[in-house]
Amino acid sequence: MRLLPPSSKVGISGRGLVVTLPYLWLVLFFVVPFVIVLKISFSDVDLAIPPYKPLLEWVGQNSLAIKLNFNNYAFLFTDPLYVHAFLNSVKVAFISTVLCLLIGYPVAYGIARATPTARNLLLLLVILPFWTSLLLRVYAWIGLLKANGVINNVLLALGAIHEPLNMLYTPFAMYVGIVYSYLPFLILPLYANLEKMDWQLLEAAEDLGCRPWQAFYKITLPLSRNGILAGSMLVFIPAVGEFVIPALLGGPNALMIGRVLWDEFFSNRAWPVASAVAILLLILLVPFMMWYQSVQARESASAR
């Protein structure tokens, strides 16, 4: 019998040492940077290296002046380009998440209900693309979707179409790319959740006269709620700020906020504007991140 909680076996000092290193690392390289982004989002653009003006300035002999410049934010709200990019990113991420769910749920369900041998093989097949470069997998779609690409060639050969469909550099291509790239992120947590399901509940429901679809709707779906939420967050949150996929598949008109931030930074060298975009994007996404974390906490509590 255990008289003491496990943690008490390790002294305070030992405990402190173990977590201090990763803790300090993350504070320095993950939290502090956000403070700097916030700071720079309030500064002026300058033709210097680095291209922004300091917030603090010595005025006269002994007075230090803080100059907070809200123009970057005002600019983002007045220029329709940025507002549009923000709204469009949320829309694209949301639709992609729903599409991922529609494709991923049956797959996760099918894997969870397969025999143990088949299950491991199928799981391996889901994980394999996840380990292969995202960039290369997005690149594959260029070859499939372009005017003389694989899909058009096959359709032309079959006589289904008479001239190539224009698919690459359209919103369609961007959705395909996002759904394709993020699908494993949805399938894996959903599978982990469904795998723990007690399938006897379904049998019981069916024995009591429930139709399979009804049993699914009334039992499986509510019980997998945490898996659905966790998987959806893993797709939605990064997809809002996605850069690579719109840049490669979306064409010049695919206005996504991650791409706007990239262009402001690399093409325009407008570091303060890019910082303001990052801060607004963060404000938009932090509630979802906190939601994700609380879903995770619930999920791991139920696993114990």
Partner 1 sequence: MNYRRSFFITTCLAFGFAFLYIPILSMVVFSFNASKLVTVWDAANSPTLKWYYSLLHNEEILDAAWISLKVAVINASGAVILGTLAGFGLARFEQFRGRFTLNAMTTAPLVMPEVITGLSMLLLFVAMEQWIGWPAGRGITTMTIGHMTFSMAYVTVVVQSRMATFDIALEEAAMDLGARPVKVFFLITLPIIFPAVLSGWLLAFTLSWDDLVISSFTSGPGASTLPMVVFSKVRLGVSPEINVLATLTIAVVTVMIVGVSLWMTRAGKLAAAAAAAAVAAAAAE
User: Which of positions 108-147 make contact with partner 1 (CB under 8 A)?
Assistant: 109-111, 113, 116, 119-120, 122-137, 139-144, 146
- Asked if residue 166 binds partner 1 (CB under 8 A), the reply is no
Phi-psi region of 60 (alpha: psi -120 to 50; beta: other; left: phi over 0): left
Strand partners of residue 59: 63
What kind and span of H or E run contains 298? helix 271-303
Q: Which stretch binds partner 1 (CB under 8 A): 4-12, 58-66, 70-78, 79-87?
A: 4-12
Please work out, in degrees rounded to the nearest 5, the angle formed at the alpha carbon of residue 89 by the alpha carbons of 83 and 90: 95
- Asked if residue 247 binds partner 1 (CB under 8 A), the reply is yes
Q: Measured from the CB atom, is 60 or 209 closer to partner 1?
A: 209
Smallest separation (angstroms) from partner 1 to the CB of 103: 6
d(CA 271, CA 24): 27
Alpha carbon 83 to its chain centroid, in Å, reads 20
Structure tokens that stand for 101 in this block? 């769910």
Contacting partner 1 within 171-210 (CB under 8 A)? 180, 183-185, 187-189, 191-193, 206
Smallest separation (angstroms) from partner 1 to the CB of 194: 11
Q: Measured from the CB atom, is 61 or 283 closer to partner 1?
A: 283
Does residue 80 contact residue 49 with C-beta atoms inside 8 Å? no
- Asked if residue 86 binds partner 1 (CB under 8 A), the reply is no
- Asked if residue 36 binds partner 1 (CB under 8 A), the reply is yes
Q: Which stretch binds partner 1 (CB under 8 A): 55-63, 70-78, 80-88, 235-243?
A: 235-243
Smallest separation (angstroms) from partner 1 to the CB of 58: 16
- Asked if residue 252 binds partner 1 (CB under 8 A), the reply is no
Size of the site for partner 1 (CB under 8 A): 112
CB atoms inside a 10 Å sphere around CB 168: 22
DSSP SS3 for 115: coil
Q: Which stretch binds partner 1 (CB under 8 A): 24-32, 62-70, 74-82, 158-166?
A: 24-32
Does residue 228 contact residue 190 with C-beta atoms inside 8 Å? yes
Smallest separation (angstroms) from partner 1 to the CB of 126: 7
- Asked if residue 230 binds partner 1 (CB under 8 A), the reply is yes
Alpha carbon 177 to its chain centroid, in Å, reads 13
Structure tokens that stand for 4 in this block? 């003491």
Q: How big, in percent rounded to 5, are the helix, strand and coil portions of the chain?
A: 75, 5, 25
d(CA 138, CA 177): 6
- Asked if residue 9 binds partner 1 (CB under 8 A), the reply is yes
- Asked if residue 300 binds partner 1 (CB under 8 A), the reply is yes
Does residue 50 have a cis bond before it (omega within 30 degrees)?
A: yes
Q: Which stretch binds partner 1 (CB under 8 A): 30-38, 61-69, 76-84, 217-225?
A: 30-38
Contacting partner 1 within 268-297 (CB under 8 A)? 271, 274-275, 278, 281-282, 285, 288-289, 292-293, 296
- Asked if residue 19 binds partner 1 (CB under 8 A), the reply is yes
Structure tokens that stand for 144 in this block? 């499939």
